[in-house]
Structure formats: C-alpha cells, structure tokens
C-alpha cells in the first residue's frame, strides 16, 4: 500500500482525543494529557484554498485528508494527503489552486487524525487506562477512518472509534479480557442494523469494547462467555453501514447520556503486525472449543 509507513520510533497509539468534553476529562483520573483539539481550517489563499491543521494536543498526530469530487482543482495530486503534525503546532497540509483561472473550484473533503502517544504511563503525552491489543490476526493493515472522522465518527457513541481496512474473513480477536454482553450474527447486508454483525465485550471496569461489521455467521462467542486477550470472536466483514471491508473498533463508557466513546490506545502502532506472544496464546480458546465440541 503506497502510504504505509513504518514508524521510526516506538509509540503507542491513542485514537482520538479531540473534542474532549469536560465530563470525559474529569473521568480520566490520571489524565496526564491536557484537553486539546485537532481541527482543520480552510481559508482563501490567492485564487484557491489553503488547508491548515491546528493541533493543540501535547502529542503529534497523523492526519489523513481526502479531497474528492475535485472540479478545477490543481495541486493536491490524487487528493489523498497523509502527514504528521507536531504537538502544539499549526501546519499547512494542502494548497488547492485553480486549474483554469476563470472558473470556481469545487471539492468535497474528509478529515481524520490519530494522536501518537508515548508508551510510558503518567507522562506528558500518554493516556490513562489499559492498552488494547490489536484485535486481529495478520496484517499489517491501515486506518481507513480515524478519530473525529467526519464520515461517521462524529457522534458521542463513535467519536473515538477507528476503522481499520482489512480483507473480509480476517480473524477478529478480543483486544482486552471481559465478558461478552451482546452479539449479532445473522445479518447479510446493510440492513437492518447499521453496525452489521458485531460482538460487544464488557471489561472489569465497566467499560465496553465493540467490534462491528463482522461477516454473517462468523461470530463464535456467545452472550455471557468470558474472553481473554486474543480470544477469537469472529471474522471481519462488510455488513451494516459500511463502505468497504473493515473493522470498526470502539471503546465506550456508560454516562448519564448513555454509552459514549472514549479515547483509548493500542499497545502498538496499528500499521504493525499484532503480537500476542507475551500473552495467553491466541488459539487457546479455539483449542478449547474444538475439544468441547469433540466431547459432545
Ligand atoms: Zn467506523
């Protein structure tokens, strides 16, 4: 993949931090990171447009900007721009000029970002809470929509969600131990549930993680079942409101307004191979379910 880029230094990912509400900040007890925002600004520049990203977080962010349906636009190549914006800075990420001087320019754009956090807890640039294992087998894959993405990650339930593009049938594994509290496994296409087939896991602290858009019939865990990190849950798919094969992963907490998504961090960069070596072997529960099937 053309924009796949190895990280030069080890970082933990936290997916989503901006518009960090006061309520979330208050819940984040060891919140070493100050509230901040990542915003895209579009201004007139000469005859065209200039796009700036302002990052008021204490950590750098990787931003993805897609400029589509371009009419009379020059200067942005194929319209996909990925760049890193340092902490507490404002950077010009794109300059759109006119192909023909006379007419207007038109385009659509989408924007998302991934803050890059240090691995040490309780430091500037780290985030409270446990690190989540990459919840899939294989890869590396890349983020197709990050936190705050204005396609669908713009509601309280999904603001800090992340979409990871991956082929249909990729094994999906539990990112954190807990108890399965909901599954949906019988949906073939987009309807009726926009989440498609999914697994929802409640963790010891009451938070929940959800794995969406799974393949029909692939879910292999049931409500009430305990899972460990790496327990196979099902296979990725393209069900529900999904524009291509991907996993939508989100961590949520219960608040007065219902379940809202919260920032979280993966234990390693998304664009790396998952590593379950230091944990319970990921196929442990597979073997167990196989043997229980044999004894029946
Ligand atoms: Zn999503």
pLDDT digits (tens, 9 = 90+) for 92-131: 999 999 999 988 999 999 888 877 765 445 666 666 778 8
Q: Quick: pLDDT tens for 243-294.
A: 899 999 999 999 888 899 888 888 887 877 887 654 444 443 333 333 333 3
pTM of the model: 0.64
Domain ranges for the chain, please list them: 8-128, 130-277
Q: Distance from the CA of 155 to the center of ligand 1, in angstroms? A: 11
Q: Sort strands 265-266 and 131-132 into parallel, antiparallel or unpaired.
A: parallel
Per-residue pLDDT of 6-61, as tens digits, reads 332 223 333 433 333 323 333 333 333 446 788 999 999 988 999 999 998 877 88
**Closest residue by Cα to residue 260 from 225, 204, 210, 192:** 210
Q: How far is the CA of 252 from the centre of ligand 1 (A)?
A: 14
Of the candidates 164, 156, 52, 36, the one whose C-alpha atom is nearest the C-alpha of residue 109 is 52
* Ligand 1 geometric centre to CA of 170 (Å): 17
pLDDT, one tens digit per residue, over 128-187 is: 778 899 999 998 998 877 766 666 777 788 878 889 999 999 999 999 999 999 999 999
Distance 15 CA to ligand 1 centre (A): 12
Q: How far does residue 268's CA lie from ligand 1's centre (Å)? A: 20
Query: How far away, in angstroms, is 144 Cα from ligand 1 center?
Result: 9
Instruction: Provide the mean pLDDT of the chain.
Output: 79
Q: Which of 275, 262, 281, 268 is nearest to 28 (CA)?
A: 262
Q: Which fold has domain 8-128?
A: Immunoglobulin-like (2.60.40)
Dist CA 189 CA 184 (whole Å): 13
| Domain 8-128 shares a fold with domain 130-277 | no
What radius of gyration, in Å, describes the C-alpha atoms of the chain? 20
- CA 267 – ligand 1 centroid, Å: 20
Distance CA 265, CA 254 (A): 19
CA of 209 to the centre of ligand 1 (A): 13
Question: Cα of 17 to ligand 1 centre, how many Å?
Answer: 16
Ion ligand 1 — residues with CB under 5 Å?
A: 161, 163, 248
- C-alpha of residue 198 to centroid of ligand 1, in Å: 12
**pLDDT at position 266:** 85
The CATH number given to 130-277 is: 2.70.70.10
Instruction: Return the pLDDT at 80.
Output: 93
For 238, half-sphere exposure in the C-beta direction (CA atoms, 13 angstrom radius) is 7
Ligand 1 centroid to 159 CA: how many Å? Answer: 9
Cα 249 to averaged position of ligand 1 atoms, centre (Å): 7
How far apart are the CA of 163 and the centre of ligand 1, in A?
A: 5
Which residues lie below 8 Å from residue 71, measured CB to CB, with a gap of 6+? 104, 105, 106, 107
């Amino acid at each position: 993949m053309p924009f796949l880029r190895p990280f030069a230094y080890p970082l933990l990912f936290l997916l989503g931090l901006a518009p960090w509400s006061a309520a979330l900040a208050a819940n984040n007890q060891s919140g070493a990171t100050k509230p901040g925002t990542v915003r895209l600004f579009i201004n007139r520049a000469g005859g065209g447009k200039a796009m700036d990203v302002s990052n008021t977080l204490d950590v750098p962010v990787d931003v993805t900007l897609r400029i589509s349906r371009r009419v009379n636009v020059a200067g942005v190549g194929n319209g996909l721009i990925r760049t890193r914006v340092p902490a507490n800075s404002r950077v010009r990420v794109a300059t759109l000029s006119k192909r023909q001087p006379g007419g207007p320019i038109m385009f659509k754009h989408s924007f998302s970002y991934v803050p890059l956090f240090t691995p040490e807890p309780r430091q500037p640039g780290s985030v409270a809470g446990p690190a989540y294992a990459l919840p899939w087998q294989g890869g590396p894959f890349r983020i197709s929509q990050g936190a705050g993405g204005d396609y669908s990650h713009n509601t309280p339930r999904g603001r800090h969600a992340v979409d990871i593009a991956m082929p249909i049938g990729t094994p999906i594994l539990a990112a954190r131990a807990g108890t399965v509290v909901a599954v949906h496994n019988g949906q073939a296409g987009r309807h009726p549930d926009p989440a498609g087939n999914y697994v929802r896991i409640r963790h010891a602290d009451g938070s929940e993680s959800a794995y969406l858009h799974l393949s029909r019939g692939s879910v292999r865990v049931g409500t009430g079942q305990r899972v460990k990190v790496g327990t196979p849950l099902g296979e990725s798919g393209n069900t529900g409101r999904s524009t291509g094969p991907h996993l939508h992963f989100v961590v949520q907490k219960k608040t007065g307004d219902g379940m809202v998504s919260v920032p979280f961090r993966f234990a390693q960069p998304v664009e790396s191979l998952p590593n379950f070596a230091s944990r319970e072997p990921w196929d442990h529960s597979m073997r167990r379910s196989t043997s229980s099937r044999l004894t029946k």
